[in-house]
Chain A
Amino acid sequence: MNPEPSAVDTVIDAVSAVFMVVGAVMSLGAAIGLLRFPDLMSRMHAATKPQVLGLFLLLASVGLQLRTWWVWPALFVAWIFQVLTVPVSAHMVGRAGYRTKHLHRELLTTDELEAVVQKAADKKTADGRAAGGQEPDERAAHDGPADDGASA
């Protein structure tokens, strides 16, 4: 903003330029990961890069370019809300992907959710026998994605 650029200005410009280029490369990496990775879970891993680190770098470059202190709280609010809301959507997408079997089991090294699902299914079977009513499979289908027990 000063009429004559000082050395500090040059350094800040260089840092924010690096931040911008790296933040854009995060988006490119996410796109390449989306195109090349084999299943939904690994694509979700690639998709988080521009959502968190890329946005952080670009907001930091905005703050560095504007050279005013009062934009930093607004940029911080934007980033905090992104960090709070991205795990919610990732959790829901990952849960739905696991339930509808959008994954390659041979690519997993460990599946910690399987034991929980198996336990919940056994409990449901036992409950169904005790009640003597509906078939457990029918119940599971009826409960649908809102069923927290089988997919915690």
Chain B
Amino acid sequence: MMEVVLTVTAVILSLAAAGAIVRIAIGPSLLDRVLASDVLLAIIGATLCIDMAVNRHLNNLMLLVALSIIGFIGSVTVARFVADRREHPNES
């Protein structure tokens, strides 16, 4: 059963990561890209969790805790220094 679950979640998370990367590529503003990169980080954390659950080890646990502690610093920094440089303010 675990092999089926691993396959299904791998497909789902690959599609999700592809969607987040598309939003990073096309996202009209900097804040959209920051938000999409946050989602990509959450998806990577989800893959780490699923790897631990399916293969029954705890090698990624410290990485996961570190991600949840310091993962917000990047988006906070970018949001702190963002400026509005758009030609048409409502195009988002």
Contact = CB atoms under 8 A, between A and B. Distances in A.
Most A Cβ at <10 Å: residue of B16, B50, B52: B16
A55 B82 contact: no
A62 B5 CA distance: 13
Nearest to B38: A47
A24 B92 contact: no
Contacts of B17: 27, 31
A70 to B, nearest CB: 10
A150 interface: no
A93 B50 contact: no
Contact of B5 (A21, A30, A35, A92): A21
Nearest to B45: A55
B61 A74 contact: yes
A28 B68 contact: no
Interface string B1-29: 11001001100110111111011000001
B13 A85 contact: no
A145 B81 contact: yes
Contacts of B43: 27, 30-31, 50
A50 B39 contact: yes
A41 B5 CA distance: 33
A117 interface: no
B92 A31 contact: no
Contact of A102 (B1, B31, B58, B76): B31
B64 to A, nearest CB: 5
A79 B1 CA distance: 27
B82 A96 contact: yes
A35 B21 CA distance: 10
Interface string B81-92: 111100001101
Given A92-B80, A93-B31, A61 B16 contact: no
B42 A77 contact: no
Given A27-B12, A51-B42, A55-B45, A35 B23 contact: yes
A58 B50 contact: yes
A71 B69 CA distance: 18
A46 B18 CA distance: 16
A93 B35 CA distance: 8
Question: 5 smallest A-B Cβ distances: which pairs?
Answer: A31-B19, A58-B49, A100-B84, A82-B68, A89-B72
